[in-house]
Structure 1
Amino acid sequence: MPQPKQDTARTRFRLQAMTDVGLVRTHNEDNFIVCPNLADRRWYLSDTPQRLQPQGCLLVVADGMGGTNAGEVASALAIESIQKHFDALPLTDRPDEERATELMRQAIAAAHQTIVQEARQNAEQAGMGTTLIMAWVFAQKALIGWVGDSRAYLYQPASGLRLLTSDHSLVWEMVKAGTLTPEEADVHPRSNIITQSLGNGAQAPAPDFISCPLAPGDRLLLCTDGLNNMVPHTGIEKILQQGAIWELPASS
């Protein structure tokens, strides 16, 4: 269904992204990619507020793992595969939610196969894998799909910070069973054990998907566990209180 003209004509957003190796590891296994406007298929970051087009924008985050430097190979392959998948799509207008979700599912499956094939051809990369989370953002809505324990949060000025996703991890199974709180899960010694990833040749991923309504003033955050394992929920909320990425200008 085409997006109503008034929804996109006045909607602007600010898109920011960064990654850092942190203080523990010597190399960075995280990767990300963003496309502010899938209509023109340009993958870049800009400090300038963007006008949201009917085809939406895409945000992807991957957290690699497995072997010496293989994690960063896996996450890079996932990111590159997602970009190629969306670059090849004939997006002339906004797809409906069912179609968009299926396109995201296909992109994740293709990224998984890319990593599996690379690992089979290079013995030194055997066992590599990556988590992946992506958000396809339209006016008034974001569709989010993920595999692993990278997360999506939504900050709303009136209600504060909310975790949108449910980790594919051992400790999150304990959260769902009521034996751990989310805060306890983040600092649990087994919090690094995930139950799904891209690149496991013996187990195809089964990504989860959600639809998240968006309103002016909302802030959407995608992150790896390198953030939420180091910064508590209240700390992330405090950071996101410092401004809004969704803006409605006074006139179109």
Structure 2
Amino acid sequence: MSARVPRLRWGAATSPGGRAENEDALLADRDVFVVADGMGGHDAGEVASAAAVATLRPLAGTAPGPDRVRAAVVAAHEAVRAVPSESSRRPGTTLTGVVACVHEGVPCWVVLNVGDSRTYRMAGAVLEQVTVDHSEVAELVAGGLLPPDDAAHHPWRHVVTRALGGGATTVEPDLFVMAISPGDRMLACTDGLTDTLPDARIEAELKAAHDPQAAADRLVAAAVAAGAGDNVTAVVVDALPRARVR
């Protein structure tokens, strides 16, 4: 019998948070689950994030492998670069999330990332950040120049070193491929969530809701209640045991 991706169940939620406009975008459809956090000021950020998500939308339902995912992210970069700009600050966006597929005969998550939005995996009730932030502060922490506890309050914490669009002519997305285990819970979220809630609180909210839609709603509501100053978006996807139905 050929390998198959386990049944998936998912939920998504978003809020403008402390901002007047919501420049986040998301896609949660069959086997593709991503979030994007637009940059570039009023209108431009919203258009940039929407352009990135729209480029990945044709992948949904095709269980694309790592090569197709990478190619789609590169195409999304070109789509964002084509967004018109009325200022010297070119529109850009982060992009992160997870794609479910069968890779080399094994059901896998393909985790993608460009920027400082994040994708997490919760397995065995333990939350782990899969992606690495592409930010000035993350590089300072990795280089031992900044204590991790100081990162959340550093004035450079929102300066990204990699994004779709912006001033870069090319982009190199991070891709992580890992086997799917039934019971996995994946979270893709923008930094409006992670800047407001510590990982321990995110883990607690994910554990508090069995249904992924309820979990996404809880995360966004908790961040907004805690005073999120930015847009907040969360996509939660579960790999179900084969005996369950969606």
User: Into which bin does the TM-score normalised by the smaller protein fall?
Assistant: 0.7 to 0.9
Q: Give identity over the alignment, percent.
A: 36
Could you say which residue in structure 2 is the equivalent of 1:81? 55
Deviations 1:180-232 (Å, cap 9, x if unpaired)? Answer: 34443233221100001111244422111111233222210001111100000
Q: CA deviation at 1:31?
A: 0.2
Where structure 2 has 5 or more consecutive residues not aligned to the other structure, the ranges are 212-237
Contact 2:89 2:166 in 1 (8 A): no
Alignment partners' CA distance in 2, 1:239 and 1:195: 30
Is 2:11 the partner of 1:16? yes
Is 2:131 the partner of 1:165? yes
Could you say which residue in structure 2 is the equivalent of 1:154? 121
Could you say which residue in structure 2 is the equivalent of 1:141? 108
In terms of fraction of residues, the more strand-rich structure is: 2
Letter in 2 for 1:104: V
Quickly say closer, same or farther: Cα 1:6–1:166, change in 2 above 3 A: closer
Deviations 1:44-93 (Å, cap 9, x if unpaired)? Answer: xxxxxxxxxxxxx1111100011222111110111112224x27x9x5xx
Q: How high is the TM-score relative to the length of structure 1?
A: 0.76
Q: CA deviation at 1:176?
A: 1.0
Could you say which residue in structure 1 is the equivalent of 2:184? 218
Deviations 1:1-53 (Å, cap 9, x if unpaired)? Answer: xxx54644xx322111111111x2111110001221xxxxxxxxxxxxxxxxx
Alignment partners' CA distance in 1, 2:94 and 2:52: 9
CA-based RMSD: 2.4
Deviates more, 1:202-211 or 1:233-242: 202-211
Quickly say closer, same or farther: Cα 1:251–1:229, change in 2 above 3 A: closer
Superposition pairs for residues 33-52 of structure 1, below 5 Å? Answer: 33-36=27-30
Which of 1 and 2 has greater Rg?
A: 1
Deviations 1:138-187 (Å, cap 9, x if unpaired)? Answer: 364201111100111111225x1111111110000012112334443233
Quickly say closer, same or farther: Cα 1:101–1:251, change in 2 above 3 A: closer
Where structure 1 has 5 or more consecutive residues not aligned to the other structure, the ranges are 37-56
Q: How high is the TM-score relative to the length of structure 2?
A: 0.78
Q: CA deviation at 1:116?
A: 1.3
Highest relative contact order (Cα 8 Å, sep 6+), 1 or 2? 2
